[in-house]
Amino acid sequence: MAGRTAVIIGGTSGIGRAVVDRFAAAGGAVILGGRSQETLDAELARIAGAGGTATGHVVDMAARESIAAFFARVPHLDYLFAPGAAYQVASIHSDDHDAVESPFRSKFWGQYYAVHEAAPKLSPDGAIVLMSGAAGARPVKGASAYAACNSAIEGLGRSLAIDLAPVRVNTVSPGTIDSDLWRRRPARQRSSAFDSYSRATALGRVGTVAEVADAVLFLFGNGYMTGSTLFVDGGYVLP
């Protein structure tokens, strides 16, 4: 990855931050995106302190104009990973339409427009990794729009692999991952979710951010994979 540049939106926390750390440790330069300048500044200082190279700009993945403004400041990139998203999970019976539509707004359209803006600036031998989630392949009760959003992202990845070739486009689909997202939730809710997920998987545990970052770095680097979805889920989607 030395001499290469990756745009990582949502790289200030959780899975995105694990990818940032791996990429920077491999000698790559990172362009970070997140919603808070203060958080970005703290992360840029942390990366520089560890010997890495990074710059960063504020961006809101739920707002198309914000994504366009972010990429106007990016001259060139080799890799794109943009998992930064904030959404709610609501059931088919909910009348809270903002909540119901939020996964598509932030996670689907956010990644769609990030690719739209990045595509003209991507190296022909570069790669995009989209973020979905195992709930797309094996839904849980009460989360139909969220499940559909993840399936849509996987379909988008297959389609973009054709439209953007020779740029490679793949999707990573994690199961439940012990990330900062879960650590911010109440301990009781987290441990109940982790227990039920663990019972539903072949490997009997939740995943780590490092395990997802390994998969993303693999998809950045493997020159003959495109249009695939890689499940990092401990076997959750198996029947």
Ligand X SMILES: NC(=O)c1ccc[n+]([C@@H]2O[C@H](COP(=O)([O-])OP(=O)(O)OC[C@H]3O[C@@H](n4cnc5c(N)ncnc54)[C@H](OP(=O)(O)O)[C@@H]3O)[C@@H](O)[C@H]2O)c1
In this structure, how many other beta carbons lie within 10 angstroms of the beta carbon of residue 15? 30
Which of these ranges, 20-28, 53-61, 119-127, 151-159, lies near ligand X under the rule CB under 6 A?
A: 53-61
Binding mask 169-208 for ligand X (x = CB under 6 A): -----x-xx-xxxx--------------------------
- By CB under 6 A, the count of residues binding ligand X is 31
Q: In the block, which residue shows the tokens 């072949």?
A: 202
Q: Which residues pair with 130 in a beta bridge?
A: 171
Place of tokens 């780590």: 208
Strand, helix or coil for residue 86 = coil
Closest separation between CB of residue 124 and ligand X, Å?
27
List 29, 44, 127, 131, residue binding ligand X (CB under 6 A): 131
Q: Is position 56 an interface residue for ligand X (rule: CB under 6 A)?
A: no
- C-beta of 50: minimal distance to ligand X in Å? 17
**Phi and psi dihedrals of 70, rounded to 5?**
-60, -50
User: Which helix (H) or strand (E) segment is 160 a member of?
Assistant: helix 144-163
Side chain identity, residue 164: L
Q: Decide if 75 contacts 123 (C-beta within 8 A).
A: no
User: Pattern of binders to ligand X over 86-125, x per CB under 6 A?
Assistant: x-------------------xx------------------
83 binds ligand X (CB under 6 A): yes
Query: In 3D, which of 194, 216, 207, 214 has the Cα closest to residue 235?
Result: 207
The DSSP call for residue 105 is: I
Of residues 22 and 107, the one with the C-beta less far from ligand X: 107
**Computed from CA positions of residues 98, 103, 106, 109, in that sequence, does the dihedral angle turn out positive or negative?**
negative
Q: What is the DSSP letter of 177?
A: B
Region of 32-40, 73-81, 118-126, 155-163 interacting with ligand X (CB under 6 A):
32-40
Based on the shown chain and the rule CB under 6 A, indicate whether residue 78 belongs to the binding site for ligand X: no
Nearer to ligand X, 178 or 221 (CB): 178
Positions touching ligand X (CB under 6 A) are 9-10, 12-16, 33-36, 39, 59-62, 83-86, 106-107, 131, 133, 174, 176-177, 179-182
